[in-house]
Amino acid sequence: MSFDLRNILGDFVTIFFPKECACCGCALKYQEKYICIACDFHLPYTNFHTYSDNDTARQLWGKASIEEACSFLLLQKGSRVERLIYQIKYNNQPFLAEYFGYQYGLKLLQSELYVGLSAIVPIPLHASKLRKRGYNQSTYFGRGLSRAMHIPLQEDLLLRKRATMTQTGKDRLARYENVEDIFTCKQISLAQDAHILLVDDVLTTGATIVSGALGLQESLGCKVSVATLARAQ
C-alpha cells in the first residue's frame, strides 16, 4: 500500500502546531488553506468589479483619469479584514496577499470591465521601507492577480522617489500633500493604447493611488485602472 510520507508528517505537525486562520485566529481544519470556511463565508466581498459606479471608483473621480476601479474587500476597524491586513503587512505573511490576489484575478477575468490590460503595476515602497519590511505586500497582491489573469507584472515600472511619513493619523488633505509627486517611471516603450492595472493593498483616502496613476499617465501616456485588496470604510 502506497502512502505519501510528506502528508503524514504534515498532519502530524498540524496536530501539535495547528495553522491559524488569517482572519479570526482559529485553528484551521483539514483542507482549509489560509482562512477558515466561516471567515470565507462572512468576509465582506464587494463585487465592485461587476459595475463601474462603485464606491472605490467614486472615491477617485475628479482626482485622476481612472478607467475602472475596484476593491476586493471592505475594511472596518476591528474586523476580520483588519486582522488579515495586519498579518500581511506586519506579521511577515505576504503570501496571503498573493493568495487573495489570485482569487480576485479569477473574478476580474469574468468581468467585462477589465479586459485589454497590458500590465499590472504595484504601488512601490521606498527602498528604505522595503529593506526594513523585507517585502512589498502590494507586489505580492499583484503577483496573484498576474498569475490568475496571465497579464505581466511590472514590479519596477513605477518608482518611489522619496520616503514619506506614515499616512496614519493624517487628515485627507495632509495625506494628499504627503504623497504629492513622489513617483516616477522608468522610460519604456509602450503600445499607444497601453492600459495598466495599478494595484495596492488598501485604499484609504486614495491619495497614494492618485499620485501613482498621475505618475504613470504623465510619464507614459497610458490608460490606468485600479484594483486594491481592500477599501477602508
Residue-by-residue pLDDT tens, the chain, 233 positions: 444 555 544 554 444 456 999 999 999 998 899 999 999 999 999 999 999 999 999 999 999 999 999 999 999 999 999 999 999 999 999 999 999 999 999 999 999 999 999 999 999 998 889 999 999 999 999 999 999 999 999 999 998 887 665 545 555 556 555 666 788 888 777 777 899 999 999 999 999 999 999 999 988 999 999 999 999 99
148's grid cell: 490568475
Burial code (b: 16+ CB inside 10 Å, e: under 16) for 131-167 equals eeeebbbbbbbbbbbbebbebebbbebbebeeebeeb
Residue 14 per-residue DSSP state: H
Contacts 24+ apart (CB under 8 A), 45-48: 45/72, 45/73, 46/70, 46/71, 46/72, 46/73, 46/74, 46/231, 48/72, 48/231
- In this structure, how many other beta carbons lie within 10 angstroms of the beta carbon of residue 40? 16
Residue 74 per-residue DSSP state: E
- pLDDT in the model for residue 1: 42
What residue spans in the chain does CATH classification 3.40.50 cover? 44-232
C-alpha–C-alpha distance, residues 68 and 65, integer Å: 9
CA distances from 216 to 32, 96, 210 (A): 39, 27, 10
CATH class for the region spanning 44-232? alpha beta
CA nearest to 47, candidates 36, 58, 34, 56:
56
Question: Angle at Cα 188 formed by Cα 182 and Cα 193, nearest 5°?
Answer: 95
- pLDDT in the model for residue 177: 59
Indicate the helix (H) or strand (E) that contains 209. Answer: helix 207-220
Maximum Cα interatomic distance, the chain, rounded to a whole number of Å: 67
- pLDDT in the model for residue 2: 47
- pLDDT in the model for residue 181: 75
Q: Write down the pTM of the prediction.
A: 0.86
- pLDDT in the model for residue 163: 66
